[in-house]
Each structure stands twice: as structure tokens, then as C-alpha cells.
């Protein structure tokens, strides 16, 4: 079947996407490779469609199907969506994904290469042709383009247009015996290649096969939480449904569960998630997405809340939140998520004493549950202890420095009362002292103020404005853990200020954790095992795969890279990420910087930055499905071209605004 005919069938409703299909997940590199293959007339594979009656076909999107027989795409959605988006200059009716992946594709008539639009690289070169514009204009528009190109390359433009006339073989699944269950099994098998389907994708496909409205129901939940300030994925929600319904972490356990149980599980999970968010927001002050860390601890909390029905008292609530904070601070679920969730669910197998066992499991895994000043040594808004700073600001009732009676909250009314991040020592002052970015953007140099106060302080030095704040709002400085020795307020003593404030923050964190524990845990446990001890444990296979930076310069480069990612609105990576065997939990390797769930959670493969690492580390990364980069430049090029596009915008960062005071 010609590509042009396939696109016409999509427009007319004769070809559509089954409801159980996932959304569009391709990135720009995949789109570019597809167009390169089509232009070169290389094979791009066949399509697989399910031929069924339109009146009984459950399909994606709001458009109407054509009467009679319809063909639902089982294999080929990513390819056909990409081609449709380029040829039609917009997504197909069933589209659900990021249209930037196929928007702005250009072709160089001289070099015969495809690239996405970049004003810097393309400039005014008339040999760069907008592929979508060429497809829209058709053969009638070639003369105008050729005129700009000096009357050359008609053949190459005709070859581009000829892509629409290429034939793609279409395999059909037909017959009365092809029930929805049979078709879903076929779908799962044929979609095992390409952009790998996650376990959540497969489980959701199975659920949607029997319950077509499931996806929209779950999306309405996600939108409700997004409106409240929290952004989650379908995969995350389904994980919570899974632990509520089956008591297991792995999605495969959902496959054989009766639909009625899944529907009931979703309803119970919705209720428990609402309760968990209310606890985290109300008791911990983590009231928006930017500061909500430890989100993969939620499936365990939701499972516990669902089974308990209601918490006995404030002590039980606090101890559950104690476990949540500790899990988040130490990255319990940053590696082998399912293995860790299953261990925690096992601790809760018997509800009586379950919470105590859950915390004990965490203590044995981590070692010390005590916060040290050094834990606040991270920098940038992506640092793991940045949410801890925000939490302390909220629960300790930190005061604004312009209005000492105002307790800080993300939800203060009025535009000028919006909460912003403030650099205590202004960036401009520290840059004059040639302080590195790791020190300028240290977490201990952050505090939260209202927009009005932030603007009024501007770029003034602490030794200029601290005395005024203390005079006008007594106690406001101390409420934000500012060392009260005026000597430390001078720029030349900045490092001493950071050290002192880290000590105050650690003391505040431990005091709060003590309150939450209600005596259940001794906070004076032994020190946590250091990375070297972890690497020496086991059979020695991991000893050569340390993943630690070789120098302060490399450390700074990795931190700088992480901050750059966060500024684009993407999730921060995990520093010194520990990759463990999903079955045994044994440590396999430690990566410098990693995104185990991808830069676009649920839509891309795991990514790692591995600087100056031995071949053994690279082999482990490759074997576990990681796309790795051995230089910061290569990683930045990947993010710019394939993830966010040349615009440099990945989406709304949300949450607290990092004010840029110069």
C-alpha cells in the first residue's frame, strides 16, 4: 500500500489506532533516521493491522471511524505518525505525544542530509529546505524552491516528494477468532523491538483491551493532580494500582487479574494517593511537584494506607512519613525500583508491626539514618537535599525577611507573594570573587522568600542587608538557619558561612526526624557504609566499576551538566547512581550521572553520563539498556537535538522559581 494511501486512510477514518496502544514515543533522532531510510529507498519494515468492524472497534482519539471495516495499527504507529506529521504538517487524529519530535525537519539539497531547524547552523542557506513545506506545496511548489536554490536539485526534491508514493507492505490480522485478548498478545509480541515497551505499557495495553475507558480515566486523575501542583505519569499511577490490587511491584502480576479487581484497585489507589499527597503536603510542606522527591515510595505508602483504612493516630502518620523522607533522601528507589518496592511490601505482609519492619529494613539497607552537614553540600535545584531545605522552610515555619510575621508557603495569595528561591550571597558578588558555580549555587546558599522581598533585596550583600532584616523582623534570619555571627556575613568568609549553615540545617533536619520517629528508631545508629565498602562487598565483580569522579574538575563538570538539564525543565539525574541486579539486588556498577527512567520519564530509555570510565562500566551500562555518553558535549548534543529541540525548551519547570539576581 502506498504511503499516500495510508495517510488518506487515516484522514478518512479507515485506519486508526486501537485504544490499548500507547502514545507516540519517538525522538528526533528516530524520525531523522526514518526519513533518511525513506529518502534512500531503504526498507523500513511492514505494518501490522487488525481488521475489524468499526462499530465495535475501540480506538484512540475523538475522530469518527468510517463505517464498515476498519484497520487498527498494531505495529507501525511510530513510523506512520512520524511520516503523517511531516507530510501533513501536523499530527494524526489519534496523536498523543510530543509533536516537536517531527516538527521543523529540514533537508539540505547539496549534502542530502536531514536536520531539525537551527537558525545558527542553517542561517540563510537556501539549500536547506523545509520538508513539510515541500510536501504541502507538492510538485507545483518545486519551481519556487528551486529558484532560491539556483535552479538546481530538481531530482532530489522529486525524490523527497516521491516518498509518498513508496509502497509499504501491510500484514493483516483477521478472523472471528481474533478476540481482543488474542490481538493484545500479538501486539505485545510484535512491539518488543524498537523503542522498548515498558512493563507498564504492556500492562496498560491489557487493561485497555478489556476496559477501553481506562486510559482516559487515569488521565483525568493525572490532570486533577497536575492542577493541584503534582505531575505524574501513567506508568507511575499504574504502579500504585498494581501494589494496591496485587500487593506486588512487577506489572506482570496485573496481566491475569480480573477486570473488576483492576477497576476496584484503581478506585482504591485514587483515594490512597489523595490521602498520601495530603499527608506529604500538609505535614511535610512538600506542596508542589518541584520539591516532591521520593515519588516511587508512593506505591508502598499507597499500599499501606489502602490496607490500613485509616491511620490510628498522629504517631503512626509521622512514622510513615519518617520512612518516606528517609527513602527519598537516600534514593532507595533510584536503582532497582521493583526489587526495592517488593522488599518493602514484603515487610508489610503482616500489618501488625509492619511499619516498624519497614523502617528497620530501611535502616539495615542504609546504615545511618542521621543527616550530616555534608549532606547539604550539594548544589543546584536538582540536588537531593534541595527538597529537604524546602521542607524545613515549611514545617519549621520560616519567616519572610520583608514581613517577619509571614510564614512561607508556596500557596500564598497574590502575585508578589509567590515563593522564590533567593541566593543569600548574590551570584554577582561571588563571581567577582571567582567562586565556581558549585559554590555559587550551593544548596546552603539558597533560601525561600516572597517575590516582593526577593526583588527588594536584589543583589545586595548579606553584610549590607542582614542587619536591616534583623532590626525590622527580629528572629526572621534565625528562622531560616542563618548563622548570626556577623563575621560570617562577609563575602570573603563565604565558605565558612556555608559550613556553619549546613550544620544548622542538619541539626534542624535531625530534630524534625526525631519528632517524626516518636522513639521508634534510634537516630544515633552507626555510620552509613561508604561506597568503597559497597564496591568491595559480594563476589568482587563490581570492584572495577566504581563510577566515581576522578577529580574536582570532573565533579564540577557533572554537577554543571545536571544543573543545565534542570534549567531545561527536565528531571535531575542521579549522581553516583548505583545499578543493582534486579533479581538479587547485588551492586553491579556505579554511574557518574544517570537517568534510570529516562530524561522523559516513561517515553525514553535510561541514560547515563560516564566520564573516563573503564570498559567494564560501559559494558554493564550497555547490557542494561542504557544509552551512555562519554563526554559532556556529546550528552548536551543529544539533549538539545533529540529531547528538547533547538528551542531549548522541554516544558514548564513548575514549582518554585529560581530567581536570577545579578
pLDDT averaged per 10 residues in sequence order, the chain, 662 residues: 95 89 84 94 90 83 87 90 95 89 92 90 86 87 74 86 94 77 69 58 78 88 93 91 94 86 96 96 90 93 96 95 94 81 94 92 86 83 83 91 68 53 92 87 91 89 93 92 96 96 95 92 46 35 40 75 82 78 66 83 76 85 86 88 54 29 30
pLDDT of amino acid 522: 59
pLDDT of amino acid 241: 97
Tell me which residue has cell 562500566: 617
H or E element that contains 657: strand 657-658
> 504: helix, coil or strand?
helix
The Cα-based distances of 189 to 178, 182, 383, 400, 402 in angstroms read 15, 11, 40, 57, 61
Alpha helix ranges (H) inside 48-196: 77-87, 119-122, 131-137, 142-148, 154-161, 180-190
pLDDT of amino acid 566: 80
C-alpha 282/C-alpha 154 separation (Å) is 66
Q: Domain limits of the chain?
A: 3-180, 198-366, 374-517, 533-657
**DSSP strands (E only) in 499-610:** 574-580, 587-595, 607-609
Nearest 5°: the CA angle 372, 375, 377 is 125
C-alpha 431/C-alpha 23 separation (Å) is 45
pLDDT of amino acid 251: 86
DSSP state of 59: B
C-alpha 380/C-alpha 159 separation (Å) is 49
For the whole prediction, is pTM greater than 0.75? Answer: no
Residues 6+ apart with CB under 8 A from 140: none
Amino acid at each position: 500500500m502506498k504511503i499516500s494511501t495510508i495517510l488518506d486512510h487515516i484522514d478518512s477514518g479507515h485506519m486508526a489506532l486501537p485504544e490499548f496502544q500507547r502514545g507516540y514515543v519517538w525522538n528526533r533522532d528516530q524520525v531523522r533516521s526514518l526519513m533518511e531510510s525513506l529518502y534512500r529507498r531503504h526498507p523500513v519494515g511492514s505494518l501490522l493491522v487488525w481488521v475489524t468492524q468499526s462499530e465495535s472497534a475501540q480506538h484512540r482519539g475523538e475522530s469518527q471511524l468510517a463505517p464498515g471495516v476498519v484497520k487498527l495499527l498494531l505495529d507501525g504507529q511510530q513510523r506512520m505518525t512520524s511520516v503523517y506529521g511531516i507530510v501533513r504538517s501536523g499530527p494524526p487524529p489519534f496523536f498523543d505525544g510530543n509533536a516537536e519530535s517531527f516538527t521543523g525537519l529540514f533537508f539540505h539539497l547539496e549534502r542530502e542530509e536531514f536536520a531539525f531547524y537551527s537558525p545558527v547552523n542553517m542561517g540563510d542557506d537556501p539549500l536547506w529546505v523545509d520538508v513539510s513545506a515541500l510536501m504541502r506545496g507538492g510538485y507545483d511548489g518545486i519551481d519556487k524552491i528551486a529558484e532560491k536554490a539556483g535552479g538546481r536539485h530538481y531530482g532530489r526534491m522529486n525524490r523527497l516528494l516521491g516518498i509518498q508514493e513508496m509502497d509499504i507492505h501491510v500484514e493483516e490480522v483477521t478472523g472471528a477468532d481474533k478476540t481482543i485478548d488474542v490481538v493484545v498478545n500479538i501486539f505485545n509480541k510484535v512491539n518488543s523491538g524498537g523503542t522498548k515497551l515498558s512493563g507498564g505499557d504492556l500492562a496498560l495495553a491489557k487493561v485497555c483491551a478489556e476496559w477501553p475507558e481506562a486510559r482516559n480515566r487515569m488521565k483525568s486523575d493525572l490532570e486533577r493532580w497536575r492542577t493541584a501542583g503534582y505531575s505524574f505519569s501513567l506508568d507511575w499511577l499504574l504502579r500504585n494500582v498494581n501494589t494496591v490490587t496485587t500487593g506486588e511491584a512487577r506489572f506482570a502480576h496485573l496481566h491475569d487479574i480480573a477486570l473488576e479487581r483492576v477497576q476496584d484497585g484503581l478506585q482504591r489507589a485514587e483515594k490512597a494517593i489523595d490521602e498520601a499527597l495530603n499527608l506529604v503536603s500538609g505535614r511535610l510542606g512538600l506542596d508542589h511537584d518541584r520539591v516532591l522527591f521520593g515519588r516511587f515510595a508512593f506505591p508502598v505508602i499507597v499500599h499501606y494506607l489502602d490496607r490500613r483504612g485509616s491511620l490510628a493516630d498522629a504517631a503512626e502518620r509521622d512514622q510513615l512519613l519518617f520512612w518516606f523522607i528517609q527513602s527519598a533522601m537516600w534514593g532507595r528507589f533510584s536503582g532497582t525500583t521493583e526489587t526495592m518496592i517488593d522488599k518493602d511490601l514484603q515487610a508489610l505482609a503482616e500489618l501488625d508491626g509492619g511499619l516498624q519492619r519497614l523502617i528497620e529494613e530501611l535502616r539495615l539497607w542504609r546504615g545511618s539514618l542521621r543527616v550530616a552537614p555534608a549532606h547539604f553540600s550539594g548544589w543546584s535545584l536538582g540536588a537531593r537535599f534541595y527538597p529537604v531545605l524546602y521542607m524545613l522552610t515549611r514545617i519549621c515555619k520560616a519567616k519572610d525577611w520583608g514581613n517577619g510575621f509571614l510564614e512561607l508557603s508556596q500557596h500564598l495569595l497574590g502575585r508578589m507573594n509567590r515563593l522564590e528561591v533567593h541566593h543569600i550571597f548574590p551570584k554577582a558578588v561571588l563571581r567577582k570573587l571567582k567562586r565556581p558555580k558549585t559554590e555559587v549555587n550551593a544548596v546552603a546558599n539558597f533560601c525561600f522568600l516572597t517575590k516582593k522581598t526577593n526583588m527588594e533585596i536584589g543583589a545586595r550583600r548579606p553584610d549590607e542587608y542582614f542587619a536591616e532584616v534583623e532590626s525590622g523582623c527580629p528572629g526572621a534570619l534565625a528562622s531560616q538557619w542563618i548563622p548570626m555571627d556577623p563575621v560570617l556575613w562577609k563575602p570573603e568568609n563565604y565558605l565558612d558561612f556555608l559550613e556553619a549553615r549546613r550544620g544548622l540545617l542538619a541539626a534542624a533536619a535531625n530534630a524534625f526526624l526525631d519528632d517524626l520517629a516518636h522513639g521508634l528508631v534510634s537516630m544515633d545508629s552507626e555510620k552509613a557504609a561508604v561506597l568503597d565498602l559497597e564496591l568491595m562487598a559480594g563476589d568482587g565483580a563490581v570492584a572495577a566499576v566504581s563510577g566515581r569522579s576522578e577529580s574536582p574538575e570532573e565533579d564540577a563538570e557533572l554537577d554543571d551538566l545536571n544543573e543545565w538539564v534542570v534549567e531545561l525543565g527536565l528531571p535531575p539525574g542521579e549522581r553516583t547512581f548505583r545499578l543493582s541486579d534486579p533479581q538479587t539486588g547485588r551492586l553491579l556498577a556505579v554511574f557518574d550521572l544517570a537517568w534510570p527512567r529516562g530524561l522523559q520519564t516513561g517515553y525514553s530509555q535510561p541514560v547515563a553520563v560516564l566520564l573516563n570510565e573503564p570498559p567494564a562500566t560501559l559494558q554493564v551500562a550497555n547490557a542494561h539498556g542504557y544509552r551512555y555518553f562519554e563526554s559532556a558535549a556529546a550528552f548536551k548534543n543529544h539533549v538539545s537535538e533529540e529531547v528538547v529541540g533547538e528551542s531549548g525548551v522541554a516544558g514548564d519547570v513548575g514549582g518554585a522559581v529560581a530567581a536570577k539576581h545579578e
